[in-house]
Structures are given as C-alpha cells and as structure tokens.
Chain A
Amino acid sequence: MTCIDDGILRARLDGELAGTELTEVNQHLGACADCAARFERLSAETARTADLLTTLARVGNDSALNPAVAYAQFRSQFGTADEPKDSWISRLFAPRWRPAWGLAAGTVVVAILVGVSPVRTWAQRVLAMLRVQKIAVVTIDPSTLMTGGESDSRPSKLINQFMADNVVVTLDPGKPDIVPSVTQAAHLAGYPIRTIGSLGAPQSIEVNGETAFQMTINRDRIEMLLEEVGRSDIRIPESANGALIAVHIPKNVISMYGDCPARHWHAISDTQSQAEVLAERKMERMASMNNTNCTYLVQAPSPTVSVPSELKMAEIAEAALQLAGMSPSEAHSFCQTVDWSSTMVVPIPRNTSSYETVSVDGVEGTLITETLSQGNRYSLLWIKNGVIHSLAGHGNSSDALTLAASLR
C-alpha cells in the first residue's frame, strides 16, 4: 500500500473509516513510520483547533451543539450567505456577453481561458505579451459541471463567489451607453464601427466601457474550490501558484438588429434579492432564445492579458477544460495542439452544437451552430485587424455568411 493521503488520515482520526479500508489504513500506520508521524502531527493540530472551536459551545447556550441551530446562528451572527456576491465579474459573463464570447460556457472556464489566451503589460515583472489572433473551438460535455450555464446552480454559485472573492477589478466598465447612431458609437468606442448592410440601421447600439481586472492564482484556494464542486481529481500545477494574471478588455460595441429584447443593466439594487435577479436573467435569456428575429453584431478589440512568462498556460488550460467536462486525456491532447499565447478558446456543448471553419470577411472564421427547439442559432466568429467580430442570430449557417458578406 502506498502512503496514505492526509484526507484519509483525517477520516481515520475522526472515526469515519470502516471495514477493509480501516483495516488497511491501520496496518499501514503500523508499518510506515512516515505516515504514523503525519498521523500524530495531524492529531495534535486537530486537537488544538478543536479546543478553540469548542469555546463556541461553552459560552452561550447548549443549542450551539445542535447542528441546525448552530448553522442558523452562525449565519445570523456573521451574515454568511450561500448566495454569491453579485459583482462586476459575474456581469462580465452574464448572458448579455454571450454574443461576444460566442457560445462560451462557464464562468471560470472562460475566465481562465481568456486569462491565458490574450495580453498587455501590467505588473512589475517581465510578462508574456499575448494577444488574441485566432479562435479555436473545443466541444465539451454539457452534462458536467459548468456547461449548463445555469447561474443558480450550486457549482456556478460557488465559482461566482470564488471569482467575487479573488478577482480585483482595476477598471470598472460602468453602465453601458446606449447610443442612437453608429457615428456616436464609433466616437465613444474610439474605433470605426461596422454595420450589417443588408439589415439597414441597427435598432439599438450598446457601447460597453473599458474593463480590467486581475487575480493572483492561489493554488490552495482553487483546489479547495475544486473539492467543493466535487472535482478534487483535477490538480492545479504547482508552478502556477502565485502567478498574477491581469486582463484588460477594451471598449466593445454590440449592435442589435431586428426585434431584439430589451437589455437590462444588472446593477443590484438594495431592494432586489438575488433570487429576483436570477429570475430576471433567466427571463432575459429565455426572451433572447425565443426571439428569432434578432441579430447581434459584436465588435471587440482583442482583450489583452498579462501573465508571468514562466507560467505554463497549457497546464492551467488543461485543468480548466477538465472542469468544463473534458476527459483528462482529451484535455491533454487538445492543449498540445493550441498556441495558448494567441488563441481564444470557445467551449461549446457537444450534444447540441457543431462548428466549422469558414471563409468570412477575407479571413478564416469559425461558424458555430446550436440546435434548439426553436430552430438553429448561429454564432460566427472571426478576427479582422485585431478586432474580434461575433455575428449571432437565428437561422442557418448560410444566413450568417450572407449577412457577414454585407458588412461595411
């Protein structure tokens, strides 16, 4: 028997092992001085912590020993809530951003993948300078953790909470500007805005502010999160610990054509509960999916990301892709094929979506088609002159290419 990990030793200490597992562990502890020493150390540390924690029960009343009461008391005393803090970062990945990221899946996956794809100098150290030059699509299993995209699922809540706790916003985009004309949008954005000629003037144009955030990779905390979402099998490379990732997203413009649902600004008011916000988002998402006469064109200059040059991005991406539903071997082989310094990876659910490489706007693009009960939905992505374009709407792939051909 190989040496026993600390988690099992702790379970043994807490009397949580039984049967053959208990026998095997006991036998090993009798034969392995190293594990026996770790077990002793663990026992001492646990006893010390337990001594402090039991003061909670000694002071006050006996109900602190009742788990349900203790939990309720704890929540009321410390204001701890299960609901994630809604933050700027969750808005970034809210449904309104979906056209920008194609059919991007879960929060953390996108955050990490965006984080390791593109760049700009930020920190004090020598950083890798990366910028999105191409797009790659990866198909993932939607039945696993992240790809359902339901913001009220427990994994999403945990991950949103994690992001809220660990991401430092250095530049808040503020409220989007809704402008009546392309000229005004271009003026605000600071770069030329293209339009879909065959659809006439956009019904509405939204200019989203410049955005920046950064996070330091804390390996222990990420692994804690992975354990909480039941994926303790995924390991974060030790070399990534302490690495600073800084993301900068320039102003971007979303032009809406046809009968598009009203887009809501998701600032949380004091009187609005988390449940109400989630319900509102769900309704918006449903409205967006049902509205077949709405087309989005997103233009977004490449986000840039600063990462330490020594950071092994492929290893982090491999962990992120496993979290998104890929098998370890799939994730490993995919990561070997991608140049992480210049590629934005878009995860799509493999059972309802397909993709193909197409020629669009004089460059190579990626056309993703999603099959829904209401019909097909497409998302055409390409990069031209450093600007990421995303054309999304309902219809067949040929519709997307026809519309893209009329861009001016």
Chain B
Amino acid sequence: MEERTVAGPLDDLLREEKCRRVRSILASIKPAQAQLLILRNSGLSYKELADVLDVKMSGIGTMLIRAEEEFRNRYLALHPNDLHPNEEEL
C-alpha cells in the first residue's frame, strides 16, 4: 500500500474526490463488470475470480480488458482531465 508522506488536507480532499468519482463510475457500469474490477483490484487471482464469479478462468483476461475499457471510457467522458498517460500521483 502506498505510503502517504505529504498528507496535507488538500491531498486528502483530492483523494476523496477521486475516490468518489471512481465509486460513481463503478456504480454506473454493469454490476458484473464492477464486481470483476473491484475483486481483481482487491487481489483475487484469476482462479479465485473464476470461482467467485462462476465463469471460466480462460475468459477472465478478456473480461478484465472489457470491464476496464468500459470503466475508463466512462471515467474519461466525465472527467477528461483526470486520466492522462504517465499521470502523476496526486
């Protein structure tokens, strides 16, 4: 987990806002895709994801790509300045 070295009040507010945006986007995409993303982000392996979601392990990679694409597209549509390549940490 990232170490928070300069956790001033502004940083906290920005992080919280970003978190709110992420939650909002997750809530707007298909539940199955949101579940997949959050579970993968929580550290589940492909096998564990396949077991939990009751799908074939061989399809997890493709499902992740599509779910992330959906997530990214929606996020970018609402917050176009918030997601750049090589984006600096807040």
Q: Is B9 an interface residue (CB 8 A)?
A: no
Chain A residues with Cβ below 8 Å from B69 are: 45
Q: Is A44 within 8 A of B85, CB to CB?
A: yes
Q: How many residues of A contact B (CB 8 A)?
A: 51
In-complex Cβ contact of A45 among B1, B48, B52, B72 (8 A): B72
Q: State which of A55-63, A199-207, A284-292, A298-306 sits at the interface with chain B.
A: A55-63
Let me know if A319 is at the binding interface, CB within 8 A.
no
With A7-B58, A67-B42 given, name 5 new contacts (CB 8 A). Answer: A60-B19, A80-B35, A161-B31, A224-B63, A228-B53
Q: Are A45 and B16 in contact (CB under 8 A)?
A: no
Pick from B1, B41, B66: contact of A62, CB below 8 A.
Answer: B1
Of B44, B48, B56, B66, which is within 8 A of A220 by CB? B66
Let me know if B80 is at the binding interface, CB within 8 A: no
B55 touches A49 (CB 8 A): no
Interface centre among A58, A81, A230, by most chain B C-beta atoms within 10 angstroms, is: A58
State A177–B46 Cα separation when bound (angstroms). 51
Which residues of B (36-85) have their CB < 8 Å from a CB of A?
37-39, 41-46, 48, 52-56, 58-66, 68-69, 71-72, 75, 83, 85
Q: How far is the CA of A75 from the CA of B14 in the complex (A)?
A: 24
Tell yes or no: A34 within 8 A of B by CB: no
A59 partner, pick from B16, B46, B75, beta carbons under 8 A: B16
Which residues of the partner chain B approach A50 to less than 8 Å between Cβ atoms? 41
**Which residue of chain A has the shortest Cβ distance to B50 in the bound complex?**
A230
The complex places the Cα of A64 from the Cα of B45 at a distance, in Å, of: 16
Contact of B71 among A6, A49, A230 (CB under 8 A): A49
Which of A8-16, A132-140, A341-349, A387-395 lies at the interface with chain B?
A: A8-16
Is the CB–CB distance between B39 and A55 below 8 Å?
A: no
Q: How far is the CA of A158 from the CA of B53 in the complex (A)?
A: 11
